[in-house]
Amino acid sequence: MLSPFQDAATGVARRVILFSFLSLCLALSHSLVDTREVRAQTDDEQTVNAIFNERLTSGEMYYLLEDLCKNIGPRLSGSEGAERAVAWAKEVMEGYGFDRVYLQEVMVPHWERGEPEQVRIVDVEEGMIELRALAIGGSVPTAPAGITAPVVVVHSLEEVEEIGREAVEGKIVFYNRAFDQTVIATGPGYGGAVDQRFAGPSQAAKFGAVGVVIRSAGSDFGDAPHTGGLRYLEDVERIPAAALGYQSADRLIEALEEQPGAQLYMRLSSKWHPDALSHNVIGEIRGSERPDEIILVGGHLDSWDVAEGAHDDGAGSVHAIGVLRTFQKLGIRPRHTIRAVLFMNEENGLRGGLKYAEVAKETGERHLIALESDAGGFSPRGFGATADDEVLERFRSWLPLFPQNTISYINKGGGGADIGPLHRETGTPTIGFIPDSQRAFDYHHAPTDVFEAVNRRELELGGASIATLIYLIDKYGLKDEMAQ
């Protein structure tokens, strides 16, 4: 790949040009390289370059993420891991000496997976065939000895209603609609599959099912099951539900084709505990001119229990901390108060986001804007903002400041689950960070969401992009300040 002399600007290399490398392949060098070097830089360009350079050379947030993933690990709300993560985040931000670091109390649900799930095809000839499965978060357990029942395959919630009680009663309903691979950005692929996980169990129970399995709402063709939350309807029996790996789902389909009456054995030993006390973790750099006006940058600290939550949302957590840390290291003194919020319980309750909004409304705290990073630590592509057109146009006018297409668009509409309540309660505009989405749902809620799945430069480029947008918002505001 790539001749060593494709970079025409390298004087040293020029001296040793080999005939075979005279063709200077420009692959991997983006469009702004040349122009950036020859013209004088504005103050903003200098600051933005300093932000990117700091992040790319130190890798400090990458190593912080490694610490969170490897030394804290899984951190589902209510768990010991979540409490260790809260203490860790507070200690990290205090260690950096931010102006203010504190905890905000919040009661959170506490669900435990229990022993490893067992989901097996009861094959008449070959005996039990083990499938890779995870209980869906929030699922009730099966009977302690497990349950065994025939399987009925469906592809939508509507289909359960169509085939009705006669076809469903006493059975395990298998929701087999796969993630739509034809999407380009993968969010809608997930959005188009996840109703099976979230609402499928109660829908099946309404028609007498005794359990539910789903084809995982993930984009990979591997066999890692993807967990996530469910919602049981009131007044409907709560039945156990598990997600199968993609290949395990295929195996089950094959088995049912060979033996239409094949049964599934399923054993889940999950458990609900009483709500537990936990915390949002908050750090601030105080504004020099408008200390009472807050620019919030957040991610969520909790993760599912089956992985390290590296992309979801360790990445967002270190993105948030990283904005403050980068400003501190570069001596950028913001005009507004910059607040990093690591929310608790995004994954199965959103209690942290709700509590934060409640407190903000009660105390009358003013938020200029809130940004969330909860789409992974991949290469940056854009931002989406829920704000009026004048604000969007201002953001778009800054696009040339993001070096070499790091951020190439500002969408209308965007935010994040945790900052949604703040938006609704106080009208605060919101921004969502949009990284490249191709790998996101390969790892999402699966045991594969580990530190090794994160690339240092991608993570830090995303963090630098977020820090750059926050820097510009802080400096210039959302609108001309006379008008605000």
Q: How far apart are CA 212 and CA 174, in angstroms?
A: 6
**Residue closer to its own copies, measured from CB, 129 or 307:** 307
Q: Which of 86-94, 104-112, 305-313, 318-326 is the region at the interface with its own copies (rule: CB under 8 A)? A: 305-313
**Binding flag, residue 432, its own copies (CB under 8 A):** yes
Name residues contacting its own copies, limited to 231-250 (CB under 8 A).
231
Beta strands in 136-227 (DSSP E): 147-154, 172-175, 211-215
**Binding flag, residue 4, its own copies (CB under 8 A):** yes
Helix (H) or strand (E) holding 359: helix 351-363
Question: Of 203, 375, 388, whose CA–CA distance to 298 is shortest?
Answer: 375
Neighbours of 128 (CB within 10 A): 11
Whether a cis peptide bond, with omega within 30° of 0, leads into 313 is yes
Q: List the one residue from 90, 215, 367, 444 that touches its own copies (CB under 8 A).
A: 444
Q: List the one residue from 78, 201, 414, 429 that touches its own copies (CB under 8 A).
A: 414
Name residues contacting its own copies, limited to 376-405 (CB under 8 A).
376, 379, 381-382, 384, 403-405
Q: List the one residue from 138, 146, 415, 463 that touches its own copies (CB under 8 A).
A: 415
Collect all residues with Cβ–Cβ distance below 8 Å to 252 and sequence separation of at least 6.
Answer: 121, 131, 151, 174, 213, 244, 264
Name residues contacting its own copies, limited to 249-278 (CB under 8 A).
none
**Residue closer to its own copies, measured from CB, 122 or 213:** 213
**Binding flag, residue 182, its own copies (CB under 8 A):** yes
In angstroms, what is the minimal distance from the CB of 434 to its own copies? 5
Collect all residues with Cβ–Cβ distance below 8 Å to 445 and sequence separation of at least 6.
Answer: 218, 226, 227, 228, 304, 306, 307, 312
**Binding flag, residue 406, its own copies (CB under 8 A):** yes
Name residues contacting its own copies, limited to 339-368 (CB under 8 A).
346, 349-350, 353-354
**Residue closer to its own copies, measured from CB, 337 or 386:** 386
Are 438 and 376 in contact, with CB atoms under 8 Å apart? Answer: no
Q: How far apart are CA 62 and CA 368, in angstroms?
A: 28
Question: 414-443: buried (b, 16+ CB within 10 Å) or exposed (e) per residue?
Answer: bbbbbbbbbbebeebbbbbbbbbbebbbbb
Q: List the one residue from 154, 294, 310, 375 that touches its own copies (CB under 8 A).
A: 375
**Binding flag, residue 284, its own copies (CB under 8 A):** no
Q: List the one residue from 66, 220, 305, 365 that touches its own copies (CB under 8 A).
A: 220
3-state secondary structure of 154: strand
**Binding flag, residue 109, its own copies (CB under 8 A):** no
3-state secondary structure of 328: helix
**Residue closer to its own copies, measured from CB, 315 or 332:** 315
**Binding flag, residue 327, its own copies (CB under 8 A):** no
Between β-strands 147-154 and 263-267, what pairing exists: parallel, antiparallel or unpaired? antiparallel
Q: List the one residue from 15, 95, 145, 484 that touches its own copies (CB under 8 A).
A: 15
In angstroms, what is the minimal distance from the CB of 122 to its own copies? 31
In angstroms, what is the minimal distance from the CB of 83 to its own copies? 21
In angstroms, what is the minimal distance from the CB of 18 to its own copies? 6
